[in-house]
Structure 1
Amino acid sequence: MLIFLRHRLAFLATPKTGTTAVEMALRPRAEIIFSKNRKHVTALRFSRKIAPFLEDTFGVRPDAVAIMRDPTDQIASWFRYRGSDRLTGTDLSTRGISFDTYVREVISDAPPPRAQIGSQFNFLTDGKEGGKETVMAEHVFAYENQSGFRQFMTDRLKTEVTLKPKNVSPGADTGLSAETLALLRAARAPEFALYDRVTAAGGHLVTPQG
């Protein structure tokens, strides 16, 4: 997470949405940087804990901006990432299994360690389902709307923002059977619905807070 106090903006690092590239490009301009285990602070925690602290301490309550990826593509990114050489032989490795198997592990009642990846829905909202959720970030961009995200950051930070690919995972076959895709869509219906909201908003969902 990057906090730009002067520009009243906080970038929340949704896992597996290209956040390393954003961090590398913009960290020199951030006054506060959350890294390593604290990098992926959720929107709810930011809104409930960190934003009030910033307001009390610095007199600034930044807008939160985050990126959301197509749910299937985001899980595929986890699959590729955990198929890297450095994880081979650990309980986090996806070597030797298909993407179809991995998705079924992710949505199972008891996912093994390699499939414990959380969800973008829980990262970006208060976690309520049934259409009752509250998106906890003012701005959510679709991963596919890179140009819109860069322009937004350029306008807010008043400097040209250029992103270079970082932390690129190895290639892998991420084909998915129709049956497993249907199971995934059912298991993560709220996340797919949220992503549909973002894309329906032109790839930039605006949800004013408080």
Structure 2
Amino acid sequence: MSAFVRLLFLTYEIKPRTFQVKFKHSQHSRKRLRIRSRAFGTVAAPWRGPEMLLFAREKIVLLSVPKTGTSAWAAALGAQASLVLRAPPALKHMPLRRFRRRLLPLLEASGVTGLEIVAVMRAPEDWLGSWYRYRRRPALNGQPASTGSVSFDAFVRAYLAEDRPAYADLGSQARFLDPGDSGPPVDHLFRYENPGALVAFLESRLGRRIDLPRRNRSPAMPLALSPATRTRLRAERAADFALYESIAAAGSAWPPRSARAERNWR
């Protein structure tokens, strides 16, 4: 497995201090191999933030969509995961299209096949609210990325502007989850606001009880949008709202894999 990790370093030109990975050594053994970038074989640091989680035996990968609670899932399930990608951000927050094109072939070449891709999506307006609150933290005061001096309505209008300021320079959940021409969409998509559905799904697949902790939650505060800004947000980010609203109560916004196979997506 160390060869696989070294290949990741070469593929993404990752600096040694920024990358950490943990891999469960064998499906026939409970021995764990922990790898740190500078010296392979040293123990990795405790989980502190959002991460992409891979469960090789259960054939599941949980993508790390930013601001969707993946820190809590990493804290709850990181010890059981076969592979944990926690840094750098470009790797742990790898969009679906990049995952299929770059990382999935490496995993399949290492014998990890038949993976089902799982992701969480947040209500679009609430997702922006989470970013707004996160960027109001004192550590960013006086910096271009700080939202401390703007209202939430101004933040959303800046996000929708053609030339975004640094504090509103964000992507899109729909774009993150868009497979493009790389293959099918994710296999299972869940709403952030309904964690019970994902808990039930993962408990059934992982065969264990899951207690989800509270992690990395921004301080609560009232956020308001004017009717005009909300209407504009829904119009200009229609793909995000349509995808979110298509998610069923039990999770998943698309047909099951067996139905998609008829379309030659896999």
TM, length-normalised to structure 1: 0.91
Considering Cα pairs closer than 8 Å and 6+ residues apart, tell me whether 1 or 2 has the greater RCO. 1
Q: Does 1:160 align with 2:213?
A: no
**C-alpha separation in 2, matches of 1:59 and 1:103:** 41
Q: CA shift at 1:191, angstroms?
A: 0.8
For 2:249, the equivalent position in structure 1 comes to 202
Q: Does 1:31 align with 2:82?
A: yes
Name the amino acid aligned to 2:77.
L
Write out per-residue CA displacement over residues 164-198 of structure 1, whole angstroms, 9 at most, x where no aligned residue. Answer: 11011123331111000001011101111111111
Greater fraction of residues in helix: 1
Q: Does 1:81 align with 2:128?
A: no
For 1:3, the equivalent position in structure 2 comes to 54
Label 1:186 to 1:135 Cα distance change in 2 as closer, same or farther (>3 A).
farther
Write out per-residue CA displacement over residues 103-154 of structure 1, whole angstroms, 9 at most, x where no aligned residue. Answer: 00111101111111101001111359xxxxx862110001122111001111
List runs of 5+ in structure 1 lacking aligned partners. 129-133
Within a 5 Å distance, the mapping from 1:111-126 to structure 2 comes to 111-126=164-179
Name the amino acid aligned to 2:101.
R
Name the amino acid aligned to 1:96.
S
**C-alpha separation in 2, matches of 1:127 and 1:115:** 25
**C-alpha separation in 2, matches of 1:190 and 1:10:** 24
SS in 1 for 2:114: coil
Please say if residues 197 and 249 of structure 2, whose CA atoms lie closer than 8 Å, have aligned partners that are also in contact. no
The alignment-based identity, stated in percent, is 37
Q: Does 1:64 align with 2:117?
A: yes
**C-alpha separation in 1, matches of 2:211 and 2:123:** 23
Runs (4+) off by over 3 Å = none
**C-alpha separation in 2, matches of 1:73 and 1:127:** 25
List runs of 5+ in structure 2 lacking aligned partners. 1-51, 258-264
Query: Greater shift after overlay, 108-117 or 70-79?
Result: 108-117
Please say if residues 8 and 63 of structure 1, whose CA atoms lie closer than 8 Å, have aligned partners that are also in contact. yes
**C-alpha separation in 1, matches of 2:170 and 2:112:** 35
Write out per-residue CA displacement over residues 46-97 of structure 1, whole angstroms, 9 at most, x where no aligned residue. Answer: 2222222211212423111000111000000000000111111111110021
**C-alpha separation in 2, matches of 1:26 and 1:19:** 10
